[in-house]
Structure formats: structure tokens, C-alpha cells
Structure 1
Amino acid sequence: MSRETSAIDYGSMMHDAMRGLIARILRDVARDGLPGDHHFFISFNTQHPGVDIADWLRERYPDDMTIVLQHWFDALEVTDAGFSVTLNFGDSPEPLVIPFDALRTFVDPSVEFGLRFEERGETETIDHDDVVEEAPFAEVEPEEDAPRKEAEVVSLDKFRK
């Protein structure tokens, strides 16, 4: 491969690093539980290969689904490829298997941290303010004495040609 035709795929490398970060966080939670007020909103593509959810959930969420890991979840297991967890849907525990490649967003509103994964072929530039407004959760009010911080949302489109 010549240097003129090859390029470093920073986008893929960043996605891999971000997925590795999420895997590390989830492994810690599987081992030790959620610390403090931390909780996660995780959205994923329900049509992605390897996603294993109940048929009724796939019918209800044909493209995207957002899950919350907070008060009740069970059997959280993390592999290099993804994670599985059992969540309660209306008093009906349902196991879910979610590959990391299916993730679209990972948000921890307790510390205003979020990651957003862009699918290959998406060319729309994402405005930081738009991402924050579209977050699938109520705005977290800071404590009275705490200074307000900007949310950390990572979008890789800025770095792509």
C-alpha cells in the first residue's frame, strides 16, 4: 500500500476506543454495581446483526431502542463484542444481548457525559447543541452551589473528510 493512497482511519479508531471505554465501565458496574448517582441511557440499533431481544420489543422498537441501567437490572455480563443484561419491562424480566457495534449513544446524565456513534455513510454534521437537546432524558439540575458544566458529547463527524 502506498502512502499516497492509504490513510489513517481515525473515525474507526475513535469508535473502537469509545466502545472500549464503555466496555470497561460496564465491566466495573457488573463487578461492583453502580457507584453513587451514576446511571446510563444506552440506545442501540435493534436491527443490527447480533442484537438479541424479545420479538415484542423488536416490534415495538423496530429501529432504535433506549434502555436505562439504573435501579433494577440483572445478569449484566460484558464480553469484548458486547454485553447482555436482563431488564424489567412491566414486571416481565427480559434478557437483551447488545453488540457494542450496535450502540448509537451512551449517556450518563448524573455527570453530563455522553458518547454518540455515527453510522458509516452518515454525512450530516452534528451540532453539539442539537445532540444535547435530543438527549432521551430529562435535564439534570445541578446542585445549587455546583457550577454548571457543559455536557461532554463526542461526535466523530468533525474529524472525517
Structure 2
Amino acid sequence: MADGIDYGRLMHGAMRGLIRDVLSDVAEEGLPGEHHFFITFDTQHPGVDIAPWLRERYPDEMTIVMQHWFDALEVDDEGFAVTLSFGNQPERLVVPFDALRTFVDPSVEFGLRFESPEAADDAAEAPEPAEDAAAEAAPEGDDAEPPRKDADVVSLDRFRK
């Protein structure tokens, strides 16, 4: 411990572990009840593997919806891979947990927001936007619209110094 305890980093690790556990359960058992997820991630993050046309369409971030149809969900300690349908075209996506920006389950009003240290510095200087980050982009062919107000999103970076 050089300068102190980095609680922000520790909390991000714990919350990514929570998401890993949730997705692992879904991979084994399927989505229970009305649960569904809006997952926003940084498309430029190292380790993100998506089709070139998706990266072109979503050059910075992308929100995927895991609800009615998804296939071959695989989860490990580093991230997850899933096949989703984009306009009736199945595409495989690989997403490291470190690339996550938001994870929202609107069925139970649960949400997490992960910010980079740069974004946390910017947030300290400017007010937060009114709209939820999960509303940026959803895959074509999915009727679900990301919630703008239903879920409470927790930003752990507010507690960093």
C-alpha cells in the first residue's frame, strides 16, 4: 500500500465479480422471470471482439440487450462472450469485464456504472448528463428500448479521491 487503499478500484473489481456471477448463473440456468440486461461497453477497449461493421457503427460504445434471444453465453474470469441477433444476423461478441461501462437490469431497478479514471476526473469538473448512459445504442432487431429513468445507476467513482 503505497499511498493508501484504492477503494474505487476494489469496488469496481467487486462489482465486476457480481456481474460475472450473475452472467455465469444465466449461462447455466437461463434468465429467470422478467430479468433482462442492458450492457454498455467500450468498443475500443483491448480484448473487445466484435464484427467490423458493428465497430464501425458503434465506434466508442455499444449497448447490447440480453432478453428474448441470445445464444452460447460463455463467462470466465476476464469477461463474457455471447451470440446476439442483429437484424436476424447472428454475431458473436467478446467483452472483457474491464470494458463495461454500465450494467442495468430494469426488471428489478438495478444498475451499475463504471467510469474510467479520466471520466471520473471530467465528472468532477462538469455536472452529470441527465440521460442514462445505457440509452446510447441498442442492437437492431430488438424491440426493447433501454430505460432512461427506471433503473438507479450507481457510480462508484464518486468515492475516489
- Same topology, TM > 0.5: yes
Give the 3 Å change call, closer, same or farther, for CA 55–17 of structure 1 in structure 2. same
Q: TM-score, normalised by structure 1?
A: 0.84
Other-structure match for 2:54: 57
The gaps in structure 1 that reach 5 residues or longer are 142-150
Q: Deviations over 1:7-54 (max 9, x none)?
A: 100010000000000000000000000000000000000000000000
Runs of 4+ in 1 over 6 A off after TM superposition: 126-129
Structure 2, unpaired ranges of 5+: 136-145
Q: How many residues align?
A: 148
The residue correspondences of 1:1-161 to structure 2 (distance < 5 A) are 6-122=3-119, 123=121, 124-125=123-124, 130=130, 133-136=132-135, 137-138=146-147, 151-161=151-161
- The answer to whether the 8 Å contact 1:109/1:140 transfers is no
Which structure would you say has the larger RCO, counting Cα contacts within 8 Å and 6 or more residues apart?
2
Higher helix share: 2
| Counterpart amino acid of residue 8 in structure 1 | I
Aligned-partner SS, 1:18:
helix
TM-score (norm 2): 0.84
* Counterpart amino acid of residue 158 in structure 2: K
